[in-house]
Amino acid sequence: MQQSLEAYINAIGRAVPVHSAPQDVTAQFMADMLECDDRDRRRLTTLYRFTRIEKRHSVIADYVKQRGEFTFYPNTAGMEPFPTVSQRMQLYRREAVPLALKAIDDCLASYPDFDRQQITHVITVSCTGLYAPGPDIEIIEAMGLPGHTQRLAINFMGCYGAFNGLKTASSIVRANPDANVLLVCIELCSIHFQKKTDTEHLLANALFADGSAAVLVQSRPRPDIALRLRSFYCDLLPEGKAEMAWHVDNYGFEMTLTSEVPTHIQRGIRQLMQRLLTQSELTMADIGLYALHPGGRRILEVIEEQLGLTTNDNRYAYAILREYGNMSSATVLFVLQRIWADLVSGVLTMPDQQPNIFSCAFGPGLTLESMITEVVTAPVEPTEAILESASASSHFS
């Protein structure tokens, strides 16, 4: 009987821009730019504090500067003329690939036995910028990969985009066991700050940040540790379509993100997980860890309520939210990378009966994406001394 083909994450890396701003500093920046009165300034500060984000990274240094020192936004009252889509896309084109290359280097440095010249496919995921020839081609050129390297761009899918990239990579290596797929998520959310006081714009401005993540997917696990891509499940909640959207406007990409999003996720998350578990022939008792996309504090809380999780179960998502904010599609890979790092270092040990990690993310649609990965570790090999001892015992017994 032919052995079924599998797909494994064998390396994960991440990168953030050098510029970072504490959340309270960003709140003051936004209040100044929106020309808030004392009452609205207090409300905005409270909103930013409620996110439980401590700092966020951006390719724009202006968020920690005073007016007169800006290099991207106009040094004028009200920041007029406000940056156009063209100006924002120029910034994306300049900054996206260098950040992605840092994530790729971080990814492949964690797997020194792999030769990057063996990469056969490059998949890019982004919802914060578009141009052609695009990042996929520039990454191939920067890495010195051959021109026949296959490539695919997955664009404008929002925070759940990494799941579609992983599904595609999984399909590729299952169809071609010799394929080595590099998946790269590149998101520069902060370049789309909107100067509007609608609640959904204020909330988006308070959550989103910049980051890039990369993973290597292969058909065989690396010798020490890997994450088997076990199963995926997707669902739509059309009744939430108006609550989360992503549109191109004259002054950047505009995110609609209302306070009703957690309510819709609350209604759908339990069914989503049950269907994924049934498809995987697993139960909740088989899940040892959770790598949830930290779309926001309230989203994490309603998932905990519906799935019966504790804050400790959800600790990796909270840590990434606190340290980086929401980096759209790259964020869930940051969560997985943190788990990976703890597994490699020995800080974390997976129970033998619970080797599975449940992940999910959400986006326009309202789309719910989910995935189960299985931690695969190499069996402990007997050392030479133990083998010699066993041989001697056998000889004299």
Question: SS3 for 145?
Answer: coil
Residues 6+ apart with CB under 8 A from 276: 231, 232, 233, 358, 370, 371, 372
Q: Compute the distance between CA of residue 197 and CA of residue 195 in angstroms, rounded to an integer.
A: 7
Q: Are 178 and 17 in contact (CB under 8 A)?
A: no
Strand spans (E) along 53-95: 55-58
Quote the distance between the C-alpha of residue 350 and its chain's center: 22
Catalytic residue among 107, 127, 159, 360: 159
Question: SS3 for 341?
Answer: helix
Which residue stretches of 216-260 are H helix? Answer: none
Backbone angles phi, psi at 11, to 5 degrees: -165, 145
190's tokens: 């902060």
Radius of gyration of the chain, Cα coordinates, nearest whole angstrom: 22
**Is 107 among the catalytic positions?**
no
Residues 6+ apart with CB under 8 A from 152: 121, 122, 123, 124, 136, 168
Q: Compute the distance between CA of residue 87 and CA of residue 73 in angstroms, rounded to an integer.
A: 10
Catalytic residue numbers, as ranges: 159
